Amino acid sequence: MPGATAPVRLAEIVQALGGELVGDAALEIRRIASLEAADAHSISFLAQARLRALLDTTQAGCLIVRADLSEAAQARGAVIVTADPYLYYARLSRWWAERRRAAVKTGVHASAVIGEGVRLHPTASIGPQAVIDDGAFIGEGVIIGAHCHVGAAAVIGAHTRLAAHVVFAEACRIGERGMLQSGAVVGGDGFGFAPFEGRWEKIEQLGTVQIGDDVDIGANTCVDRGALDDTVLANGVKLDNLIQIAHNVRIGEHTAMAACVGVAGSARIGAHCLIGGAALIQGHIEIVDHVQVSAGSFVMHSLRQPGHYSGIFPIDTNANWEKNAATLRQLYTLRSRVRALEQQNKTP
Amino acid sequence: MPGATAPVRLAEIVQALGGELVGDAALEIRRIASLEAADAHSISFLAQARLRALLDTTQAGCLIVRADLSEAAQARGAVIVTADPYLYYARLSRWWAERRRAAVKTGVHASAVIGEGVRLHPTASIGPQAVIDDGAFIGEGVIIGAHCHVGAAAVIGAHTRLAAHVVFAEACRIGERGMLQSGAVVGGDGFGFAPFEGRWEKIEQLGTVQIGDDVDIGANTCVDRGALDDTVLANGVKLDNLIQIAHNVRIGEHTAMAACVGVAGSARIGAHCLIGGAALIQGHIEIVDHVQVSAGSFVMHSLRQPGHYSGIFPIDTNANWEKNAATLRQLYTLRSRVRALEQQNKTP
Amino acid sequence: MPGATAPVRLAEIVQALGGELVGDAALEIRRIASLEAADAHSISFLAQARLRALLDTTQAGCLIVRADLSEAAQARGAVIVTADPYLYYARLSRWWAERRRAAVKTGVHASAVIGEGVRLHPTASIGPQAVIDDGAFIGEGVIIGAHCHVGAAAVIGAHTRLAAHVVFAEACRIGERGMLQSGAVVGGDGFGFAPFEGRWEKIEQLGTVQIGDDVDIGANTCVDRGALDDTVLANGVKLDNLIQIAHNVRIGEHTAMAACVGVAGSARIGAHCLIGGAALIQGHIEIVDHVQVSAGSFVMHSLRQPGHYSGIFPIDTNANWEKNAATLRQLYTLRSRVRALEQQNKTP
């Protein structure tokens, strides 16, 4: 959401978020900005050594920096000194956004449809055209966007927010402080069919989705309900946009996945993993904690050791690729030819 | 949808679905469960030989098994004997879910918007905030979820169900007993542009989508309308989540696609094919019946023989991958070097 | 949208779109059709030499052709001669669709929810159940479909159309003559988190999405808002379905992307590029103008020269693939073995 909000004094920022302020505490800050786009009423941050050259050119009124850059930064304006400027920026961005969200109206929009037996906290906000089915639970400070659908007996924990157009289906549960982006579908049917005489007989999906606290789910991402048991996202899981989480998948705490990842049914992924964009994870396999998978890689088997894994066809000019791909199609033959040469050289 | 529903007696299950019951016909079943999660009021199934060890530990009140496991299973509780326990489970799950759906209210929710000339069967159910445009046809027993949009002159066949937030656009047609998950978009415009002086001129998409009976379409899956002719999904096609079906694609009967597959324009895919997750199918090619494509593979050319096809870069530790990828970039050169060695060895 | 509309005379078509008509100007045209599906009241086009054989069999009442095929085509019916039949067809399709859209009612549907301070052009059309938040701008001739959500202070330029179920979030802007398909989400939060003691701290996304004129965005495609600066799509960009555009990406004029592409954060893509389906573009890289990327390729580094690039594992029978993949896993070793052989052959 955009930066437009009431300006604040630097003193208010440091009072709320800590850090050592060097400079004019009364300076009025109107926006948070990148080093390149900042002006005299912007606060910016310098978190990477490679961007140090921008110290000389940025117009930011105040800079968030580490102690080692404090002196250089002071030469050009106000400074907030902190051990981790990127983390400080993260917290500043949230504090900034919270001030704006304070304006969200609590209560139920007149056009929303609320079922029977819904337990709705008085501080929750239900947007226009939202539909909350019978028996759902909507916790303290929850924000439900326009057109959201919360299914029967679903549970939305305190301070969780649903952007517009989220589907959170029947009997699924999410904990506190979650964030679901628009178009996310939690609790669609898993893809389950039994073959019979050349046809497919649908298996009804009778499980749910169980989601912990502090979980983010991206736009148009799908998390399917379990077949019999549940699909489970542990605390702190972060899913980007357009991700597929199939039925009965379990994802451990604080694992993050970039956009377009696909996880097939019953895969178990550990805690603190990093899954790169459009990576693909086979069904019924296990990935231990602290695994990193490069973008575009297909995890075909269990990964039982922590570490960094990749499987990507390197990009090249199309002409080179065609030559290499032609050889690749006969790679097995090439190995045989090398073996033959080795035999030849051995036998005098 | 969750397992919570009124309990049944084992006798009722066997009466409805057949199979040979050995044990207490009056046993009350409260849920269908996996072997691991089952309790004394659960019914479970054992379909794979490799799970046989679970016979000793499962707490299931009743087990669905093949005849060869009947005796072993009887030692520990009630048993339903059947030739195909997985199929029996599929049918049991549907029977179970049907009992729950009996509670869905027929008729039109007060907040839905129904256009002019809509032909609406009295047994159909139109959910809150749904919009049905002029001239649409809604068949017997159809269930339209919250916020669905059915376009003008669209046809929804008997007993087809749309979960919440489905878009089924103008003039498209689906047969009987279909199931569309949330966020599915049927009948968006195909991606058609004519190049003109470095720009793109849009080609309006004037075809429709024609879908047979018993077709399932997953959450956030897109099936585009044809440019002039139609996009066609035959009877029994099963599409998982986040799949892209471009304009003028034709998919044969009972073909199933796992999540994240992309099918480019005018591809023709046969009947009884299995397309693995995130596989990619080139436009304007043909795939015959009974083809299996591994997940993550790119079908660049027509496949004219039934069989199993793959094209996946194997995953490895990142360190190994980097070494192999470096060689791969010069694979053509490696082949030349082998050829040179062979020439050398030939000439004495 | 389907071809059903009032018929026209050939004379009207040529009057509107130009071209040289040879044949009966009074011929009544009821639909635009492919060569194969055309009948005596259809108009069709022949744009590719390889389809010339269809001249003998098509039943089209009128054919759009180049001058060199004019004589052959006249032998069988009416003809419109033009330099670029495919372009003519594109314009004809739009003219045809415009006539149908003339029937769209202007004004606000009774069930829509319009916020305070919305600037709404009297010729705009707001569909049923749409929600337009405070301060949004809706330009001349804009069409907003059913269930769309336009966020606070968002700007929709003249003649832009949103199909049903589009989310166009707070403070984002699109120019004139744009087209957004159903399920598209513009302005979801970018995926930004700062690591802190094994957890992720959310970075609020304070930028917007800025979209030029004549931009098309496909069904269920996501364009995230920037973290601090904006995400930018230049004039004429065309995005197919299920595409992910991460925060702070910039895409140049008239670049087109096929379905399922993923573009990671802060990537900069030039003008007039063609990105094939399911291609993946690394974050923070740069691609110059006039680059073509094959479908399924992963752009891992900047592409600084125009040209055509690929990186695809060739598909094969599964049996062959298994043999080649096994060798590929040891490709580095194979290169070492070749080097050893070369050394051996050198030393006598």
At C151-179, the pLDDT tens digits run 999 999 999 999 999 999 999 999 999 99
Last residue of a domain, one of A49, A68, A101: A101
Given a cut of 70, whether residue B4 has pLDDT beyond it is: no
Averaged pLDDT, B264-288: 98
**Which range (A2-16, A18-32, A305-319) has the least confidence?**
A2-16
Which residues in chain B touch residue A220, judged by CB atoms under 8 angstroms apart?
183, 220, 242
Q: For a pLDDT cut of 90, what percent of chain A falls above it?
A: 89
With 90 as the cut, is the pLDDT of residue C283 above it?
Answer: yes
Same domain, B150 and B270: yes
Do the domain assignments include residue C1? no
Distance from CA of B130 to the nearest CA of A (A): 10
Nearest to residue C256, comparing CAs of C233, C279, C235, C272? C272
CA pair distance A200, B271, nearest whole angstrom: 13
Mean of per-residue pLDDT scores for chain A: 95
H helix and E strand count, chain C: 5, 40
Instruction: Check CB contact under 8 Å for A256 and C207.
Output: no
Based on the fold, state whether residues B328 and B279 are members of the same structural domain.
no
Residue tagged active-site, from C109, C159, C247, C308: C247
Residue A67 burial (CB count, 10 A): 10
According to DSSP, residue A20 is labeled E
- How far apart, in whole angstroms, are the C-alpha atoms of residue A166 and residue A177? 16
Chain A residues whose beta carbon lies within 8 Å of the beta carbon of residue C229: 33-34, 36-37
Least confident of A159-168, A210-219, C65-74, C200-209: C65-74
Instruction: Report the C-alpha gap between B53 and C231 in whole angstroms.
Output: 55
Alpha-carbon gap: B239 to the closest alpha carbon of chain C (Å): 15
Interface contact flag, B147 A147, Cβ < 8 Å: yes
User: Which of the pair, A49 or A97, is modelled with greater confidence?
Assistant: A97
Closest chain C residue to A47 measured between Cα atoms?
C194
Look up residue A167 and give its two tokens: 């589907």
Note whether C335 contacts B338, CB cutoff 8 Å.
Answer: no
| Same domain for C168 and C135 | yes
- Backbone φ and ψ for B88, nearest 5 degrees, come out as -60, -45
Write out pLDDT tens, residues B299-323. Answer: 999 999 999 999 999 999 999 999 9
Confirm if B170 and B187 have CB atoms less than 8 A apart. Answer: yes
- Under a CB-based contact definition with an 8 Å cutoff, are residues B226 and B247 in contact? yes
Give me the catalytic one of B149, B159, B165, B247: B247
Residue of A247, A254, A284, A301 marked catalytic: A247
Residue C315 and residue C295 in contact, taking contact as beta carbons nearer than 8 Å: no
CB distance C2–B170 less than 8 Å?
yes
Signed CA dihedral, A95, A97, A103, A105: sign only: negative
Q: What residues of A are in contact with residue C209 (Cβ under 8 Å)? A: none
Please report where in the chains the tokens 């016979």 appear, as a residue.
B55
Instruction: Write out pLDDT tens, residues C291-337.
Output: 999 999 999 999 999 999 999 999 999 999 999 999 999 999 999 99
Is residue B33 one of the residues assigned to a domain? yes
**Rounded average pLDDT over B324-340:** 91
| Chain-chain contact of A206 with B328 (C-beta, under 8 angstroms) | no
In a domain, C3, yes or no: no
Structural domain contains residue C186: yes
- Same domain? B69 vs B93: yes
| Phi, psi torsion values for B212, nearest 5 degrees | -80, -160
Q: Which residue of A has its CA nearest to B312?
A: A298
Residue C282 covered by a domain: yes
Judgement on whether residues B334 and B265 belong to the same structural domain of the protein: no
Confidence of residue A346 (pLDDT cuts 50, 70, 90): confident
Bridge partner list, B257: B239, B275
Query: Do A97 and A181 fall within a single domain?
Result: no
CB contact under 8 A, C321 and B311: yes
**Backbone φ/ψ region at B171: left (φ over 0), alpha (ψ -120 to 50), beta:** left
Interface test with B, best of C54, C104, C315 (most B CBs within 10 A): C315
Closest CA–CA distance from residue C182 to any residue of chain B (Å): 7
C111: nearest CA partner in chain B: B113
Residue C266 belongs to some domain of the structure:
yes
Cβ-based neighbours of A145, under 8 Å, separated by 6 or more: A127, A130, A161, A162, A163, A164, A165, A166, A182, C149
Min mean pLDDT across A139-153, A194-208, B49-63, B147-161 is at B49-63
Looking at residue B303, what DSSP letter applies?
B
Q: How far is CA C290 from the centre of its chain?
A: 17
Q: Is the pLDDT of residue C49 over 90?
A: no
Please give the pLDDT value at position A4.
53
Query: Which residue, among A196, A298, A320, would best test binding to B if mutated, counting the most B CBs under 10 Å from its CB?
Result: A298
Mean pLDDT of B277-290: 98
The answer to whether residue A250 sits within a structural domain is yes
pLDDT digits (tens, 9 = 90+) for B202-248: 999 999 999 999 999 999 999 999 999 999 999 999 999 999 999 99
The model's confidence at residue B99, banded by pLDDT at 50, 70 and 90, is: confident
Residues A295, C183: C-beta atoms closer than 8 Å? no
Residue A281 bridge partners (DSSP): A263, A299
pTM to 2 decimals?
Answer: 0.96
pLDDT computed for residue B2 by the predictor:
44
> Which pair of tokens denotes residue A267?
């895969």
How far is C175 from C215, CA to CA, in rounded Å?
Answer: 8
| Distance (Å, whole) CA A172 – CA A245 | 14
Measured CA to CA, the distance from residue C30 to residue A251 in angstroms comes to 55
Phi/psi at C180 (5° precision): -115, 125
Q: Counting Cβ atoms within 10 Å, is residue C53 exposed (0-12), middle (13-18) or buried (19+)?
A: exposed
Interface test with chain A among C244, C291, C332, C334, by most A beta carbons within 10 Å: C244
Chain A interface mutation, best of C149, C150, C338, highest count of A Cβ atoms under 10 Å: C149
What's the angle, vertex CA A250, arms to CA A244 and CA A251, rounded to 5? 80
Is the separation of the CB atoms in A231 and A209 below 8 Å?
Answer: yes
**pLDDT on residue B298:** 98
Q: How many CA atoms lie within 13 A of B315 on its CB side?
A: 21
Instruction: State the average pLDDT over residues B4-25.
Output: 92
C1 neighbors C97 (Cβ within 8 angstroms): yes
Beta bridge partners of A200: A195
**Locate tokens 């995926």: which residue?**
C191
Nearest neighbour of A91 by CB, restricted to C200, C201, C311 = C201
- Identify which of C36, C272, C332 has the shortest CB distance to residue B198: C272
- Yes or no: say if B109 and B92 are a contact pair by the CB < 8 Å rule: no
Q: What is the DSSP string of A203-256?
A: ------EEE-SS-EE-TT-EEEPPSSS-EEE-TT-EE-TT-EE-TT-EE-TT-E
Q: C238 pairs with which residues across the strands? A: C216, C256
Q: For residue B277, give the 3-state DSSP assignment.
A: coil
Cβ distance B312 to C321 less than 8 Å, yes or no, reads yes
For chain A, give me the number of helices (H) and strands (E)? 5, 40
Could you tell me whether strands C42-45 and C31-32 are parallel, antiparallel, or unpaired per DSSP bridges? parallel
DSSP string computed for A131-164: EE-TT-EE-TT-EE-TT-EE-TT-EE-TT-EE-T
Q: What would the mean pLDDT of C99-107 be, rounded to a whole number? A: 81
B13 shares its domain with B120: no
Q: Are residues C71 and C158 in the same domain?
A: no
For residue A298, with 0-12 CB atoms within 10 Å meaning exposed, 13-18 middle and 19 or more buried, which class applies? buried
Chain B residue numbers with beta carbons less than 8 Å from the beta carbon of C295 are 264, 280, 282, 298
Whether the per-residue pLDDT at B39 is higher than 70: the answer is yes
**Looking at the 3D structure of chain C, how many domains does it have?**
3
Residue C339 lies in a domain: yes
Percent of chain A with pLDDT over 70: 98
Q: Provide the edge-to-edge strand list for the sheet that holds A280-281.
A: A113-114, A131-132, A149-150, A167-168, A185-188, A222-224, A244-245, A262-263, A280-281, A298-299
The pairing of beta strand C78-81 with beta strand C20-22? antiparallel
pLDDT at A345 over 90: no
Instruction: Give yes or no for a contact between B148 and B130, defined as CB atoms under 8 angstroms apart.
Output: yes
Instruction: Please report residues of A whose CB lies closer than 8 A to that of B91.
Output: 201
User: How many inter-chain contacts (A to C, CB under 8 Å) are there?
Assistant: 248
Q: Are residues B196 and B337 in the same domain?
A: no
Distance, in angstroms, between A64 CA and closest chain B CA?
35
- The residue out of B79, B101, B123 marking a domain boundary is B101
- Report, as an integer, the average pLDDT of A170-184: 98
Tell me, yes or no, if C247 is annotated catalytic.
Answer: yes
d(CA B334, CA A324): 10
Tell me the residue ranges of DSSP E strands in B228-300. 231-233, 238-239, 244-245, 250-251, 256-257, 262-263, 268-269, 274-275, 280-281, 286-287, 291-293, 298-299
**pLDDT at residue number B348:** 59
Residue with tokens 């009140």: B61
- pLDDT at res. C1: 44
Calpha distance B108→B131 (Å, rounded): 11
| The pairing of beta strand B199-202 with beta strand B193-196 | antiparallel
What mean pLDDT do residues A257-274 have?
A: 98
Q: Are the Cβ atoms of B309 and C328 closer than 8 angstroms?
A: no
Q: Domain range holding B339? A: 318-348
CA distance linking residue B292 with residue B313, whole number of Å = 18
How many CB atoms are closer than 10 A to CB A104? Answer: 11
pLDDT band (50, 70, 90) for residue A5? low
Beta bridge partners of residue B245, listed in sequence order: B223, B263
pLDDT band of residue C4 (cuts 50, 70, 90) is low
Q: Give all chains having 3 or more CB-to-CB distances under 8 Å with chain B.
A: A, C
Q: What is the dihedral of CA A202, A204, A207, A210, to 10 degrees?
A: 70
Which residues are CB-neighbours of C71 under 8 A, at least 6 positions away?
none
Domain finish residue from C101, C118, C142? C101
Contact across the interface for C93 and B196, Cβ inside 8 Å: no
pLDDT of residue B1: 44
pLDDT surpassing 90 at residue A49: no
Note whether B341 and B234 are same-domain residues.
no
Task: Please report the ipTM that was assigned to this predicted complex.
Answer: 0.96
Q: Does the pLDDT value for residue C3 go beyond 70?
A: no
Task: Examine the domain organization and report whether C127 and C88 are in the same domain.
Answer: no
pLDDT at B211: 98
Residue C266 has which token pair? Answer: 């802060």
Helices (H) and strands (E) in chain B, counts: 5, 40
* Inter-chain touch A313–C309, beta carbons under 8 Å: no
C144 and C229 in a single domain? The answer is yes
Other beta carbons within 10 angstroms of residue B68's beta carbon come to 9
Instruction: Give the residue, B5 or B345, on which the prediction is more confident.
Output: B345
Please compute Rg for chain C using Cα positions. 26
User: What tokens appear for A57 in the block?
Assistant: 């050119």
CATH number at residue C63: 3.40.1390.10
Does residue C86 contact residue C32 with C-beta atoms inside 8 Å? no
8 A C-beta contact, residue C51 and residue C8: no
CA distance B308 to chain C (A): 5
CB pairs under 8 A between B and C: 249
Which position has the token pair 């705009």?
C124
Q: Inter-chain contact B327–C325, Cβ cutoff 8 Å?
A: no
**CATH code, domain carrying C271:** 2.160.10.10
Task: Supply the pLDDT for residue C348.
Answer: 60
Sign of CA dihedral C267, C217, B228, B164: positive
